Amino acid sequence: MHYTLTRPAARRPLAALALLGALAAGCAPETIDDHPCPPGGTSLTYESFGQEFLQTRCQTCHGAGGSERQGAPSSFDFGSRESARRTRARIFVRAAAGNTTMPPGPDDPPEAERAKLADWLACGAP
């Protein structure tokens, strides 16, 4: 039948568009809104996790003065629970879950630490 030959062909452009959309979504960074706090909450706290993570992984630049900041913007200093909480959506997009644009350079935190960071931030950085 004429109909069975043309109909699948007519669908192909739509399938291609859907694929492009999926690819574009895959390239966009995961945001804090894409990552809900786990159902049981988190046992991670600023004291047990956040402080040390930020101190060792981020504050070498973000908490430093002068040229040691290496260009890290002065509005992003993660040296207190409050500052981490306030900027948690930006921390997420740069460093949590699959987001790896921070820290720049070779000292990449392991995936498990980025996963913990994601949960801690998503639960409000307690």
Question: What share of residues in the chain are helix, strand, coil (percent, to 5)?
Answer: 60, 0, 40
Query: What would you report as the CA-atom Rg of the chain, rounded to the nearest whole angstrom?
Result: 21
Cα separation of 106 and 94, whole Å? 15
- The dihedral over CA atoms of 118, 120, 121, 125, expressed in degrees to the nearest 10, equals -170
| Residue 73 binds to ligand HEC (criterion: CB under 6 A) | yes
Binding of ligand HEC by 32 (CB under 6 A): no
**Min dist. Cβ of residue 54 to ligand HEC (A):** 7
Site for ligand HEC, residues 81 to 110, rule: CB under 6 A: 87, 90-91, 94-95, 102-105
Interacting residue with ligand HEC among 43, 48, 70, 80 (CB under 6 A)? 70
Residue ranges binding ligand HEC (CB under 6 A): 57-58, 60-62, 70-73, 76, 87, 90-91, 94-95, 102-105
